[in-house]
Amino acid sequence: MAQSGTPVWRSIRDTLASEIAQQGLRPGDRLPTEAQLSARFGVNRHTLRRAVASLVDEGLLRARRGSGVFVAMQPVEYAIGRHVSFHQNLALAGRLPGRRVNVTARRPADPVEAQALRILAGEEVWVSEGVSTADDQPIALYRTVFPAARFPGLDERLSRLSSVTAALNEAGLAEFLRAETRISAQTVTVAQALLLNAQEGQPLIVTQSVNTDMQGVPVEYGTTWFLSERVTLITRSEI
């Protein structure tokens, strides 16, 4: 297999890379074991490991402690722009958007939520929590709150309709805009790992956003925990 001048590990690396490029190995697939690959290529494990390590460095493969090596997913490119729609963002990225609502409740706003929504602490909010999916794979957890006084019956709309945008539209808000987004990072907790089908300790991008109506009045305050392996946020400056 090795051509003159090309180290054996590099030939193996190039073979695996082209199998990934041609989708013989697909995003999310587990790589065969070291023993299987060593046998297939007729090399020792040291040589095989060098080829695999090179592809991990380049980001084509991803090692998960205790569970093997996988073909890296292409992260969803998620635009943080002035106009806000998870469904539209996912559709633009060529993915099928989905949502699983785990909790919808009405309760008094905590001080942070009240400040973000410019209501009094203790005024009631609708709270919706769940998992956002792309092509049925979990990519993010979200918790979002809305002033209850402004949107009576929103809980029923959030449960029945497929997107927050659709629920707000039906509640009489034809359009809304993203005012500010705060971005930080965390690592996946045990509870989040189960919901995201991910590993504890993996990095998360955390966004906190306030959305307003066209008069600048806050209508939604949301926090989203994006699994960084599956989502890249993008901000573009409009000229």
Our finding on whether 118 is near a second copy (CB under 8 A) is no
Q: Which stretch binds a second copy (CB under 8 A): 20-28, 40-48, 73-81, 128-136?
A: 73-81
CB-nearer residue toward a second copy: 33 or 186: 186
Q: Identify the residue among 17, 53, 63, 80 touching a second copy (CB under 8 A).
A: 80
Residues sharing a CB contact under 8 Å with residue 174, sequence separation 6 or more, in sequence order: none
Least CB distance to a second copy at residue 76 (A) = 11
Nearer to a second copy, 8 or 90 (CB): 90
Alpha-carbon gap, residue 224 to 227, rounded angstroms: 10
Cα dihedral 161, 216, 236, 115 in deg (nearest 10): -80
- Cα 191 to Cα 187, 194, 200, 201, distances in angstroms: 12, 6, 9, 11
Instruction: Name the token pair of 210.
Output: 């306030």
Q: Token pair for residue 192?
A: 């989040």
Q: Three-class SS of residue 114? A: helix
CB of 112 to a second copy, least distance (A): 10
According to CB under 8 A, which one of 9, 60, 75, 192 is a site residue for a second copy?
A: 75
Q: Which stretch binds a second copy (CB under 8 A): 44-52, 136-144, 149-157, 230-238?
A: 230-238
Contacts (CB under 8 A) with a second copy, residues 154-213: 177-187, 201, 203-205
Rounded to an integer, what distance in angstroms lies between the CA atom of residue 222 and that of residue 144?
4
